[in-house]
Amino acid sequence: MHALCGENGAGKSTLMKILYGMQKPDEGTITVDGTEVAFSSPADAIARGIGMVHQHFMLADNLTVLENVALGSEKLYGIGGRARAKIREISDAYGLGVRPDALVEELGVADRQRVEILKVLYRGARTLILDEPTAVLVPQEVDALFDNLRELKSEGLTVLFISHKLGEVLSVADEITVIRRGTTVGTADPRSTTARQLAELMVGSELPTPGARESTVTDEPALAVSGLRLTATDSDGVVREVLDGIDFTIHEGEVLGIAGVEGNGQAELVEAVMGMRTPDSGTVVLGGRDISHVPTRTRRESGIGYIPEDRHRHGLLLEAPLWENRILGHVTETPNSRRGLIDARAARLDTERIVEEYDVRTPGIEVTAASLSGGNQQKLIVGREMSHHPKLLIAAHPTRGVDVGAQAQIWDQISEARREGLAVLLISADLDELIGLSDTLRVMYRGRLVADADPATITPEELGSAMTGASSGHLDHEAVGASAPEGGEEG
């Protein structure tokens, strides 16, 4: 099992695309089992026994597992009983526990991932490439995945594993390759390397330490949400409660972290606070002003900064130059416009400043946002939102898909602004990030805030179990595992 680590934009994905035949190399060779090969399409790679499990699953929700697996390779084992038998055989051989006749839409994230792995094995892959497979999993699921991967390894398969999470890489890999800015900067032996050394190899310099920090929480409420309830009609026409009974207050200088498996209402909560969705009931009060019924623009103007979960969909105009992206979301504020007119000169100047201050790596501000790497796009967004001195920052997965260097930088900026009285609503799937940054932790499960925890004592495992709905109430370090009564404050 070989792991590949590197900063974002280091070239990991490009390398993977080349190995899987999605892109052609300019020079260099690829050797599989001692023979030199040249792939011109993924089909060639599959023929050579290389399979890829993408970060974003490529499954048709409305089909069964069997249909999804057979799709595109009907010639191998047909689409009926033979295929079903083969799926069972593979599933049993590697302990994947996949049921061929289940509908994919009924499966959880971890099961879907196993279907993806099975899909690859079904096509006869001997080498598996997994692109950030743990990004969407909770800790328990990650362990299960690693068990599956070890199983594969023991059957003689090769696994190539890409990850940002150094702890995982160290625990599971037999050998680690670190790449930076498109070249291999080193290999490491997981038995004799620490996460810190690995991280330093990745960024190429010593890491800043998060460090011990004193609490900056004040008594002044910045955002108070109460009784928030939101319903949505799903594709079957059934009205579901997406959010229910959401109550929380964030004080100035406080970071409130919301933990939860994705799809439990976090995105909807953010959109409700931003004014992009209209809740059925409940109030949102920002700095003493009721903003429950004002449009998104007014909310932004009154001091909400927003680092969206999906920066391509909600944070950037990919085909617009950087300086226009700097205007996005703050078009009515200085320096972007004056008396209804865009002040392109001032906006450009300020973009130069952001690029400088937030270390956005770009040759200029006239290039399109699409040509920057993910981490640099995120730094631009953070810089833009911070430039307007928000009272409340909504940070949804602020370091997702961001390399270690940029990650530390973004954390620093959030901590610093917090010291100056910023309130932060932090939503993240990265439990270390949540625990490390938050002053208060809440767990969201099926649209409700079911548990709270003290970030000073809680461990990722304990948080993880609450995220799956296994425990609720106040999570205490000792009491975890057992289900505490709803809202109970046992100590």
Partner 1 sequence: MNKLTARIDKERLLLALAAPVLAVVAALVVTALVILATGKNPFEAFNDMLSYGSASDSQIYILNKATTYYLAGVAVAVGFRMNLFNIGVDGQYRIAAFFAAVVGGALHLPGPLQIIVVILVAMVVGAMWSGIAGILKTSRGVSEVISTIMLNSIATAVIAYLLQPDKLGQLDDAGTLVSTKSLPKSSWFFTFNAGPAGELWGFIVIAALVGVAYWFVLGRTRFGFDLRAVGRSESAAEASGVGVKKMVVTSMVISGAVAGLVGMPTLLNDSHAFSNDFPLGVGFTGIAIALLGRNNPVGIAIASLLWGYLERTTGHLELIGYDKEILGVIQGVIVLCVVIAYELVRRFGLRRQQQRVGAELAAQAAATATDEKLEVAR
Residue numbers at the binding site for partner 1 (CB under 8 A): 181-182, 204-206, 274, 276, 295-301, 306, 308, 313-320, 324, 327-332, 337, 340-342, 344, 361-368, 370-372
Quick one: 362 or 471, whose CB is closer to partner 1?
Answer: 362
Could you give the CA distance from residue 111 to residue 96 in angstroms, rounded to a whole number? 9
Quick one: 194 or 371, whose CB is closer to partner 1?
Answer: 371
| Helix, strand, coil content of the chain in percent (nearest 5) | 35, 25, 40
Quick one: 217 or 320, whose CB is closer to partner 1?
Answer: 320
Quick one: 43 or 370, whose CB is closer to partner 1?
Answer: 370
Q: Show Cβ contacts of residue 233 under 8 Å, excluding neighbours closer than 6 positions.
A: 239, 240
Q: How far is the CB of 433 from partner 1 (least distance, A)?
A: 22
Spatial contact of 104 and 59, defined as CB atoms under 8 Å apart:
yes
Quick one: 394 or 451, whose CB is closer to partner 1?
Answer: 394
Q: How far is the CB of 207 from partner 1 (least distance, A)?
A: 11
Which DSSP string do the residues of 392-420 spell out, in sequence order? EEEEESTTTT--HHHHHHHHHHHHHHHHT
Kindly give the pairing relationship between strand 304-307 and strand 392-396. parallel
Phi and psi at residue 331, to the nearest 5°: -65, -25
Q: How far is the CB of 200 from partner 1 (least distance, A)?
A: 8
Q: How far is the CB of 244 from partner 1 (least distance, A)?
A: 24
Q: Coil, strand or helix: which one is 147?
A: helix
Classify residue 221 by burial, with Cβ atoms within 10 Å: 0-12, 13-18, 19+: middle
Quick one: 349 or 370, whose CB is closer to partner 1?
Answer: 370
Q: How far is the CB of 100 from partner 1 (least distance, A)?
A: 36
**Which of 132, 206, 128 has the alpha carbon at shortest distance from 165?**
132
Cα 136 to Cα 61, 261, 373, 457, distances in angstroms: 17, 8, 21, 24
Q: How far is the CB of 220 from partner 1 (least distance, A)?
A: 25
Q: How far is the CB of 46 from partner 1 (least distance, A)?
A: 26
Quick one: 43 or 342, whose CB is closer to partner 1?
Answer: 342
